[in-house]
């Protein structure tokens, strides 16, 4: 009796999943099998190495909680999240690019008025900033009634969800653009922060001698009727890690220039503006 070949094994496994209904689920599962096989064969994966991998993924799962998502962090650090964002959006000229959402978004942020203050706690060390802009479409028409979902770190480089000393809603909020498509709020200029290194993802950063720093950013999600939803980030122009963002999210098109405020009617040290441009999409009517 001849021994089973690797190709015969792969064919047998793929055939075992043939009864899944035709569609994306079947394509994804069978595609994953083919690529996992190709990966294991390409690197000549040994049994001991496979067990190390199983142990690693187990620890990634075990450290996850309702406030920590190590799988998203792993995807971010490997550049997969950035790739999926690019593939899913296929941005057109003039449209604001998407960027990674990261693991720290919290649902149900409070609504804040236009020009309201999102910096509830005034954590020491920050630079008070007024940030504002317009949400518009590719033709330049302002989009009224767009909903922004915003979240960022405090000047101590921690999100409220990570920091028991901050108010639960510090530096996060939702805002509805006015009839001119305007958004705007007071905040603290975002600061760079390190992704969590105390879990299994920290090991990958350590062995790669990577710094683990996120380029400073404000996360923004935008939903507007008739437009493709956007999840992105905006980055201060002077961040030293602009070109070495540890999750590959930062790019030049998402830069905000922070300048000294000279308007006595604005109660902030710095001001910055950014216009978000959405693409029409009837699927989101």
Instruction: Return residues touching Fe ion (CB under 5 A).
Output: 102
Q: Name the minimum Å distance from CB 77 to Fe ion.
A: 13
> Which residue lies nearer to Fe ion by CB, 104 or 276?
104
By beta-carbon distance, which residue lies closest to Fe ion?
A: 102
Tokens encoding 112: 């804040």
Cβ closer to Fe ion: 121 or 137? 121
Rank residues 102 and 181 by Cβ distance to Fe ion and give the closer one. 102
**Is the alpha carbon torsion for 195, 198, 201, 207 positive or negative?**
positive
- Specify the DSSP class assigned to residue 164: T
Give the DSSP per-residue string, 216-275. P-EEEEEE-TTB--EEEEEEETT-TTTT--TTS---GGGEE--EE---TTS--SEEEE--
């064969």: which residue's tokens? 41
Instruction: Decide whether 143 or 153 has the Cβ nearer to Fe ion.
Output: 153
Least CB distance to Fe ion at residue 177 (A): 23
- Residue 151 CB, shortest distance to Fe ion, in Å, is 8
CB of residue 102 to Fe ion, shortest distance in Å: 4
The minimum distance between CB 219 and Fe ion, in angstroms, equals: 6
Strands 270-273 and 259-260, by their bridges, are antiparallel
Q: How far is the CB of 35 from Fe ion (least distance, A)?
A: 29
Report CA-CA distances (Å) from 95 to 68, 75, 147, 172: 31, 25, 17, 24
In the bound state with Fe ion, the residue whose beta carbon lies nearer, of 180 and 194, is 194
**Which residues neighbour 48 within 8 Å (Cβ) at sequence distance 6 or greater?**
none
Beta carbon nearer to Fe ion, 156 or 261: 156
Q: Of 102, 151, 152, nearest to 126 (Cα)?
A: 152
């Amino acid at each position: 009796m001849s021994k089973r070949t690797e190709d015969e094994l792969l064919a047998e496994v793929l055939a075992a999943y043939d009864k899944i209904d035709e569609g994306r689920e079947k394509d994804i599962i069978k595609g994953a099998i083919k690529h996992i096989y190709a990966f294991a064969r390409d690197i000549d994966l040994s049994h001991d190495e496979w067990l190390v991998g199983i142990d690693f993924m187990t620890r990634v799962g075990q450290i996850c909680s309702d406030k920590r998502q190590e799988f998203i962090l792993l995807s971010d650090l490997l550049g997969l999240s950035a790739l999926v964002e690019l593939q899913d959006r296929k941005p057109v000229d003039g449209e604001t690019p998407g960027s990674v959402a990261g693991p720290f978004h919290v649902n149900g942020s409070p609504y804040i008025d236009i020009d309201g203050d999102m910096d509830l706690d005034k954590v020491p060390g920050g630079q008070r900033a007024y940030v504002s802009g317009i949400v518009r479409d590719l033709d330049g028409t302002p989009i009224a009634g767009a909903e922004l979902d915003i979240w960022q770190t405090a000047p101590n480089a921690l999100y409220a969800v990570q920091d028991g000393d901050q108010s639960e809603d510090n530096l996060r909020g939702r805002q509805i653009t006015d009839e001119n498509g305007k958004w705007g709020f007071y905040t603290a200029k975002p600061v760079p922060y390190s992704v969590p290194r105390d879990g299994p993802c920290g090991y990958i950063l350590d062995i790669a001698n990577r710094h683990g720093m996120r380029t400073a950013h404000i996360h923004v999600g935008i939903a507007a009727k008739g437009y493709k939803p956007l999840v992105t980030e905006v980055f201060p122009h002077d961040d030293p890690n602009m070109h070495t963002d540890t999750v590959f999210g930062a790019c030049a098109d998402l830069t905000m220039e922070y300048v000294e405020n000279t308007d006595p009617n604005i109660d902030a040290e710095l001001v910055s503006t950014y216009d978000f441009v959405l693409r029409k999409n009837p699927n989101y009517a």
